[in-house]
């Protein structure tokens, strides 16, 4: 069973979140903590496959804790589960290491779906969290289809790097990078790298 850590400073919410996994044979709540500091301490004591974090916690906030987890335990999927729907936080998520960003009013099915996306290396964003203040036409279905590696390559294309430079930075062959680029073009229904960059900028993937 996959081991899950859940972190929130509201005991009632933690109790409700545990019910999502009651009777589930795939996942097990292995730890529940109330602060960012406790999250870090728990990771030094045990292994977790998935971390579900609130943003606003005592000590380090969820986004900082997420970054710490991905730096030290890169195979752990991080789900941000929060009340905050502000575009600022969503943009930070899009540029950060979290695998999913979900509102606390999400139902059981959406939370489990977000975890599935994360385990497949894809990003998941609740529809309510689409940042409309800066760009209102984010195509979620296309973004959800991208793997974490494809998102990495898109971000490097936006920064102006070519296939050779991307290959060197990601320790891949140029052939592999070009294969990823072809897959990206197909998934996004685009014709060239300029189209990829335009799509990324419009959807805050940078």
Does pLDDT of 21 surpass 80? yes
Rounded to whole angstroms, the Cα distance separating 70 from 63 reads: 11
Task: Say what angle helices 174-188 and 163-170 make with each other, to 10 degrees.
Answer: 110
Average pLDDT over residues 92-117: 82
> DSSP secondary-structure letter at 34?
S
For residue 94, pLDDT beyond 80: no
> What is residue 205's predicted lDDT score, i.e. its pLDDT?
77
Write out pLDDT tens, residues 140-155. Answer: 667 778 888 999 999 8
Residues 6+ apart with CB under 8 A from 150: 180, 183, 184, 187
Q: How far apart are CA 149 and CA 102, in angstroms?
A: 22
Which residues fall within 8 angstroms of residue 154, CB to CB, at 6 or more apart? 146, 184, 196, 200, 205
Query: Given strand 77-82, what is the order of strands in its sheet?
Result: 27-33, 2-7, 50-53, 77-82, 100-103, 124-125
In the chain, what's the furthest Cα-to-Cα distance?
51
Walk me through the domains of the chain, giving residue ranges and CATH numbers.
Answer: 2-129 (3.40.50.2300), 140-202 (1.10.10.10)
Instruction: Give the pLDDT confidence of 71-85 residue by residue, as tens digits.
Output: 899 899 999 888 877
* H or E element at residue 35: none
Question: What pTM, to 2 d.p., does this model score?
Answer: 0.62
pLDDT reported for residue 145: 81
Look at the block and give the residue holding tokens 């891949």.
172
Query: Do 150 and 180 touch, CB atoms closer than 8 A?
Result: yes
Mean pLDDT of 185-206: 83
């Amino acid at each position: 069973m996959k081991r899950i850590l859940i972190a929130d400073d509201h005991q009632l919410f933690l109790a409700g979140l545990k019910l999502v996994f009651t009777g589930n044979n795939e996942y097990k709540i292995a730890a529940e903590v109330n602060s960012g500091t406790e999250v870090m301490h728990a990771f030094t004591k045990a292994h977790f496959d998935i971390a579900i974090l609130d943003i606003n916690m005592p000590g380090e906030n969820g986004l900082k804790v997420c970054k710490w987890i991905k730096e030290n335990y890169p195979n752990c999927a991080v789900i941000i589960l929060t009340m905050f729907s502000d575009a600022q936080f969503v943009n930070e998520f899009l540029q950060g290491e979290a695998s999913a960003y979900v509102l606390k009013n999400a139902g059981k099915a959406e939370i489990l779906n977000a975890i599935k996306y994360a385990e497949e290396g894809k990003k998941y964003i609740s529809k309510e969290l689409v940042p409309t203040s800066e760009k209102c036409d984010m195509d979620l279905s296309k973004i959800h289809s991208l793997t974490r590696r494809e998102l990495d390559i898109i971000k490097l294309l936006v920064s102006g790097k070519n296939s050779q430079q991307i290959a060197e930075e990601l320790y891949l062959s140029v052939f592999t990078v070009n294969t990823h680029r072809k897959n990206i073009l197909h998934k996004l229904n685009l014709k060239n790298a300029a189209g990829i960059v335009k799509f990324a900028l419009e959807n805050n993937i940078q």
